Amino acid sequence: MAVTIKNIADACNVSRGTVDRALNNRGKIKPEKKELILATAKKLGYKPNYIARSLKKGKTNTIGIIVFNLYNEFFSSLINYMEVKAKEKDYHIDLALTHYDKDIEKKCVENMIKRQVDGLILCSVNNEKDYSLWLQNFNIPLITLANKVSDRIPYISVDNKLAMKDAAQFVHNKGYNRIIYISPPLAYKSTHNIYALKQRFEGFSQINMEHKSIIIDSKDYIRELETINILEHKTVILCSSDIYALEVLNYLKEKKIKIPSQVGVMGFDNINMLKYIEPHLTTVSYPIEQIGAIAIDSISKAIESDDKIQNVVIKHKIIQGESL
């Protein structure tokens, strides 16, 4: 059995109130008593029970973070930064992963609520009609990342549409005549929230190439790629995220297709591991650290002061590599 405030009180022949005052320096207390109490607390190895404190105070000092998984370096970096920032502000991280499953996601949210997190940072894939209402009903500070859920819920992100438009313009300016655009299935929109994906696609769609564009949005994008003669038309393959671009690079290398002389490739996200990849991938970069910092900052402010959280648009830029 762990040692409690009562044990200390008994050992020191004082009341629990006095122990509390000594331990948390509140109110006035006779110095020698305070010393005695602190000493015996230490001697007994007292560790305050935060669960009890949380129950009493109605605050857990915990931020719930729900993301898809940790395979994508974007999320592991993000959480890494958030954890540091949260610790600075004396918050703790509760982590849950949804693996892109909207039922799991709802369970994760409910669990966070049951665990009384003070605020929630959510990367959602849920596209149910009243999901935004359902979320707001819990009435705790909430921030969405990755996919926007509704205009009424704060959202921190790059401008995916503009960023992808810039990317498409960039490859166009490089003299490519045909873009093959590779994306996870846009048909997921019937079952999932794929806001960011759609934004990127829309941005891409705003640029017209001399020849037609080809959209590949199948899970089997490599097989689709095989059906196309990519050596025609001065072609570039624009990928909606780096992890797709890496697979494409592997495919092209296997086919002995030269990059960039025969085909160009461009990614999106600028994940860390790119620095080990050859040829260096041209990609769209944005500061993940900043997203994490702003998210923790905003949510902790909202927890402590009922401030409304502002949407934030993170700046992006194009990183010139050697892949086009």
Partner DNA sequence: CTGTTAGCGCCTTCAC
Partner DNA sequence: GTGAAGGCGCTAACAG
Q: Which residues bind DNA (CB under 7 A)?
A: 1-2, 4-6, 13-18, 20-21, 23-24, 26-30, 33, 46, 48-49, 52-53, 55-58
Residue 275, binding choice from DNA, its own copies, none, Cβ under 5 to 8 Å by partner class? its own copies
Phi and psi at 136, nearest 5°, equal -65, -25
Could you say which residues in the range 62-101 bind its own copies, by CB under 8 A? Answer: 69-71, 73, 76-77, 79-80, 83-84, 87, 92-97, 99
CB 50 within 8 A of CB 118: no
Give the 3-state secondary structure of residue 234.
coil
Q: Residues 13, 32, 45, 129: which binds its own copies (CB under 8 A)? A: 45
CB 320 within 8 A of CB 304: no
Q: Alpha-carbon distance 217 to 224, whole Å?
A: 9
| Shortest spacing between CB 11 and DNA, in angstroms | 12
Count residues binding its own copies (CB under 8 A): 45
Judged by beta carbon, residue 28 or residue 256, the one nearer its own copies is: 256
List the one residue out of 39, 88, 46, 36 whose CA is nearest residue 63: 88
CB 317 within 8 A of CB 286: yes
Where does this chain touch its own copies (CB under 8 A) — which range of 27-35, 114-122, 159-167, 219-227? Answer: 114-122
289 burial class (0-12, 13-18, 19+ CB within 10 angstroms)?
middle
DSSP-assigned letter for residue 66: E
Q: Alpha-carbon distance 83 to 93, whole Å?
A: 6
| Shortest spacing between CB 30 and DNA, in angstroms | 3
| Shortest spacing between CB 161 and its own copies, in angstroms | 28
Q: Alpha-carbon distance 34 to 17, whole Å?
A: 12
Phi and psi at 73, nearest 5°, equal -55, -25
DSSP-assigned letter for residue 307: P
Residue 84, binding choice from DNA, its own copies, none, Cβ under 5 to 8 Å by partner class? its own copies
List the one residue out of 64, 68, 57, 73 whose CA is nearest residue 94: 64
**Considering the rule CB under 8 A, would residue 180 count as an interface residue with its own copies?**
no
**Considering the rule CB under 8 A, would residue 173 count as an interface residue with its own copies?**
no
Residue 82, binding choice from DNA, its own copies, none, Cβ under 5 to 8 Å by partner class? none
Judged by beta carbon, residue 76 or residue 262, the one nearer its own copies is: 76
Residue 29, binding choice from DNA, its own copies, none, Cβ under 5 to 8 Å by partner class? DNA
Reported residue count of the chain is 324
Which positions lie near its own copies, rule CB under 8 A?
Answer: 45, 47-52, 54-55, 60, 69-71, 73, 76-77, 79-80, 83-84, 87, 92-97, 99, 110-111, 113-116, 137, 246, 249-250, 253, 272-273, 275-278
